[in-house]
Amino acid sequence: MNQLESNVLHSFKMVKSDIIMMQDTMTQLSQSQERIMEMLGELRAQETALYNAMKAHKLTTSHPVKRTRKSYVASKTGKSVHTTNCPFGKNIKPKSKVVFATKSKAFNAGYRACDCLKRV
Ligand SMILES: [Zn+2]
C-alpha cells in the first residue's frame, strides 16, 4: 500500500467515523426531541389543570358572600349616589368624589339614589 492509498483509506475511515458520530448525534437529538415533546405534553396538561383550577376558582369567587362593608360614592358636583360598581360611580374623579358608608348618609346629604342602587 502506497502513501496515497493509505491517505485515502485513512480519510474514508475518518468520514465513516464522522457519519457514525453524526448518526449517534441524530439518534440523541431525536431522543431529546421526544423527551422535549413529552415535557411539552406534561406542561400542557399542567397548564390545562391550572386553567381549570383558575376557572373553578373564578366560578366560586364570582358570587362572593355579600360584603358587609359596602360604600357608596357620589360626586360633589352631582346629584346621585352610586354603588362603587356603578359605571357612573367609577367615573367620578377622585378629586370630586364623596364616599358614604351607608345609603341613608348619602340621602341625608341631599343625594338621590342612582338606578344602580335600586337594582341592588
Ligand atoms: Zn349609579
103 CA from centroid of ligand 1 (Å):
12
Strands of 97-100's sheet in order across:
97-100, 72-75, 80-83, 112-113
Reference 117, options 108, 109, 107; nearest CA is 107
pLDDT (0 to 100) of residue 118: 83
Map grid coordinates 374623579 to a residue. 93
Q: What does the pLDDT average to over 18-23?
A: 90
Distance 88 CA to ligand 1 centre (A): 5
Q: For 32-71, write each residue's pLDDT tens digit.
A: 999 999 999 999 999 999 999 888 887 776 655 555 467 9
Burial (CB count <10 Å: 0-12, 13-18, 19+), residue 29: exposed
C-alpha cell at 103: 345609603
Please give the model's pTM, rounded to 2 decimal places: 0.43
CA 76 – CA 65 distance, rounded (Å): 31
Note the pLDDT of residue 66: 53
Query: For 60-115, what is each residue's pLDDT tens digit?
Result: 766 555 554 679 999 999 999 999 999 999 999 999 999 999 999 999 999 999 99
Rounded distance from Cα 79 to ligand 1 centre (Å)? 11
Task: Give the per-residue pLDDT at 83.
Answer: 93
* Residue 96: per-residue pLDDT: 95
Give the C-alpha separation, 87 to 90, whole Å.
5
118 CA → ligand 1 middle, Å: 9
Cα of 109 from ligand 1 centre, angstroms? 16
